[in-house]
A = this chain, B = another copy of it.
C-alpha cells in the first residue's frame, strides 16, 4: 500500500527559507532541513532533485518578495521620490533578510543561479521610475547604474567593507541623490545634438 507523503515540497522550501533567514546559507544543509520537516535527509530527494534545486526554489520566492517590496514603495507620485523610496525598500529588505538577499546578488555556484526569467517583473517599478528620470533612450543603462550602485552599497555594508566609519545612512541618502542627478543629467546630454 502506498505510503502518503510525510512532508511536501512546500514545507521543505519553507523550512529551508527559515534556516536561511536565521542561520545563513552555510547552515541550509539537507540534514538540517530534514530535521525541521521531520524526515531523514535521503527522503528529501523524493521531493527535490538536489540541494542546488532547493536553493533555486527559495531564490525564486525571495525574488518575488523583493520585487513586491519595491513595488509597494513606489507610491510617492514623483519619480525622484519614488527612486528614493525604491532604493530604501531595496536596502531595508537586504538588511532584514541578508541570507535571502545573498541568493540574488552574491556570487554563487552556477547551479544555484536562478534561471533567467524573461517574464520577471522584479524591477518593473524601478524601470518605470528610472525611465521617468532618464528618458526612454538610456533606460537600461540608467537602471543598471542604479541597481549596481544600490546592490554594491548594500553588499559592502553586509560585508563590513565600510571600514572608515562615518554615517552609513547618510552616505546612502547622499548616493541616491547623486545617482538621481546623474541619470537625469546623462539623459539630457545624450538627447541633445552633439556640440
A147 within 8 A of B: yes
Task: For the complex formed, measure the closest distance between the CB of A84 and the CB atoms of chain B, giving whole angstroms.
Answer: 15
Chain A: number of interface residues, binned into ranges: 35 or more
- In chain A, positions 161-184 with a C-beta closer than 8 Å to chain B are 161-164, 166, 170-171, 174-175, 177-179, 181-183
Which one, B98, B160, B174, contacts A141 given CB within 8 A?
B174
**Who on chain B is nearest to A170 by CB?**
B141
Measured between beta carbons, the chain B residues less than 8 angstroms from A150 are: 148, 152
CA–CA, A160 to B106, complex, Å? 10
A8 within 8 A of B: no
Binding stretch for chain B, among A10-18, A48-56, A107-115:
A107-115
CA–CA, A166 to B144, complex, Å? 11
Which one, B105, B171, B179, contacts A144 given CB within 8 A?
B171
- Known A-B contacts A107-B102, A144-B162, A166-B140; the reply to A174 vs B186 at CB < 8 A is yes
A151 within 8 A of B: yes
CA–CA, A161 to B105, complex, Å? 7
Q: Which A residues contact B (CB, under 8 angstroms)? A: 26, 98, 102, 104-110, 113, 116-117, 120, 138, 140-142, 144-145, 147-153, 155-156, 158-164, 166, 170-171, 174-175, 177-179, 181-183, 185-186
- List 12 additional A-B contacts (Cβ < 8 Å) besides A105-B155, A144-B153: A106-B155, A140-B166, A145-B149, A145-B174, A148-B149, A148-B150, A148-B156, A155-B155, A174-B186, A178-B183, A181-B185, A182-B182
A-B contact pairs, 24 of them (CB 8 A): A106-B155, A107-B159, A108-B159, A141-B170, A141-B171, A141-B175, A142-B174, A142-B178, A144-B153, A144-B162, A144-B166, A144-B175, A145-B171, A148-B152, A149-B149, A151-B155, A151-B161, A152-B155, A155-B155, A177-B186, A178-B179, A178-B182, A178-B183, A181-B182
